[in-house]
Amino acid sequence: MSSRIAIHFRNHPKDRPMPTTVAIYERTVERLRSRLETLASDVVIVPFNKNGEYLVDGQVSAPEETAIDYLWLSHELSAEKIVGAALEMALRTKSIDVMQTFNAGLDLPAYKQVADKGVRICNSNAQAVAISEYVLANVLACFHPLAQRQQLQSEKAWEKTPFREIAGTNWLIVGFGPIGENVASRARAFGASVSVIRRSPQPIEGVDRVGSLKDIEPFLADADVIVLACALNDETRGMANGRFFDAVKPGALLINIARGGIIDDAALFAALDDGRISKAVLDVFNQEPLPAGDPYWEHPGVIVTAHTSFNGSGVRGRWDDLFFDNFPRYLNGEPLNNEVSPEKI
């Protein structure tokens, strides 16, 4: 590992007499070595390994003995399936001021436990563009008879195929963080009307109607497309239940890119079987990976994808950019992007 990465970068601000420590997964440090060396101020980068151990001056340091100013949970942790180990390390760390994560949703119990220790947590909006494109792609796939067209081509049959337009449809987006905002802007660009359910029913520019969860039923009755984009918490767990589906416009399209726990699976199957929901596009599930015997795999009204809606070509770059934008803000005492208030975790 380059010695530059392990030493202080001088010319630190006068009001910051001590070096600032930022902990980053060791493989992320190697990948971003040249970019990390451009960080201003007096900064010490403390790598950590897959076992949840810090490496201080090349020596292993137990979390209980290590104080960190800024902890970055980068996307490599997910790829290597060690997010849990990193969060456990954070819980054991002597002190942390800020933790920035690649996750958009903070429903893992460890995030609340970390927040309860007084750690400021910033989530990620890097996935929002990709997830909104996933939503639009699936709506178009459901509205257009793509399989029929392919079959006609294989048969060399010159036959016109009607399709449903997005223009003029009514969309209901449940949850209006960065993902909901990006879905809304793309739906509007196609000529759809957009309604939103969120905690505060205050008007939103460019959104036709806004309501709160307790008022959702009349919104469901008008919606051709329902997009679940909300956080999973005590209020939203099991929200899409029998009463929810009783209120929907018959034949509505449901898309869940939030969390599997928001849906009551039995209630959704009943709604699919009797036509209240024409199609369900599900990217998230109560159990992941989805077991081979789960009935979602074979239900004709369900499109199953493997929690892949975030997996766009630009996401990883935006994850990195968020850190390189936020960390200087931290050094300068400026407001941080994507900081989540503790009561929302």
pLDDT given for residue 8 in this prediction: 40
Residue extents of the structural domains in the chain: 3-126+314-336, 128-304
pLDDT-derived band at 9, boundaries 50, 70, 90: very low
Specify burial of residue 250 (Cβ count, 10 A radius: 0-12, 13-18, 19+): exposed
In the predicted structure, residue 7 carries a pLDDT above the cut 50:
no
Residue 237, number of CB atoms within 10 A of its CB: 13
| Ranges of H-type helices in 155-236 | 178-189, 216-222
Q: How far apart are CA 105 and CA 120, in angstroms?
A: 15
In the predicted structure, residue 139 carries a pLDDT above the cut 60:
yes
CATH number of 128-304: 3.40.50.720
- Percent of the chain residues topping a pLDDT of 90: 91
Mean pLDDT of 159-171: 99
Give tens-digit pLDDT for 193-249. 999 999 989 999 999 999 999 999 999 999 999 999 999 999 999 999 999 999 999
pLDDT given for residue 186 in this prediction: 98
Q: What strand order describes the sheet that includes 339-340? A: 59-61, 54-56, 43-48, 20-25, 67-73, 95-101, 120-122, 339-340
Tokens of 7: 């030493």
Of residues 168, 177, 167, 169, the one with CA closest to residue 197? 177
Residue 266 C-alpha from the chain's centroid: 25
The label of the residue with tokens 């101020």 reads: 41
In the predicted structure, residue 77 carries a pLDDT above the cut 60:
yes
Tokens of 237: 């767990």
The fold of the 3-126+314-336 domain, in CATH, is Rossmann fold (3.40.50)
pLDDT given for residue 267 in this prediction: 99
pLDDT-derived band at 57, boundaries 50, 70, 90: confident
Average pLDDT score, the chain: 94
pLDDT-derived band at 291, boundaries 50, 70, 90: very high
CA 135 vs CA 33, 243, 254, 265, 280: distances in Å: 35, 24, 10, 20, 12
Q: Angle at CA 48, nearest 5°, toward 64 and 14? A: 80
In the predicted structure, residue 10 carries a pLDDT above the cut 60:
no
Peptide bond just before 218 cis, omega within 30 deg: no
pLDDT given for residue 40 in this prediction: 66
pLDDT given for residue 306 in this prediction: 98
pLDDT given for residue 15 in this prediction: 52
b (16+ CB within 10 A) / e for 287-325? eeebeeeeebeebebbeeeebebbebeebbebbbebbee
| Ranges of H-type helices in the chain | 3-6, 26-31, 33-36, 76-79, 83-92, 109-116, 128-143, 146-154, 178-189, 216-222, 242-246, 265-273, 315-331
242 phi and psi angles, rounded to 5 deg: -60, -45
In the predicted structure, residue 331 carries a pLDDT above the cut 90:
yes
In the predicted structure, residue 5 carries a pLDDT above the cut 80:
no
pLDDT given for residue 41 in this prediction: 67
pLDDT-derived band at 14, boundaries 50, 70, 90: very low
Higher-confidence residue of 120 and 6: namely 120
pLDDT given for residue 42 in this prediction: 86
pLDDT given for residue 3 in this prediction: 39
pLDDT given for residue 17 in this prediction: 59
pLDDT given for residue 1 in this prediction: 42
Mean pLDDT of 93-105: 97
Mean pLDDT of 150-170: 99
Neighbouring residues of 269: CB distance < 8 A, sequence distance ≥ 6 = 295, 299
- Let me know if the fold of 3-126+314-336 is the same as that of 128-304: yes
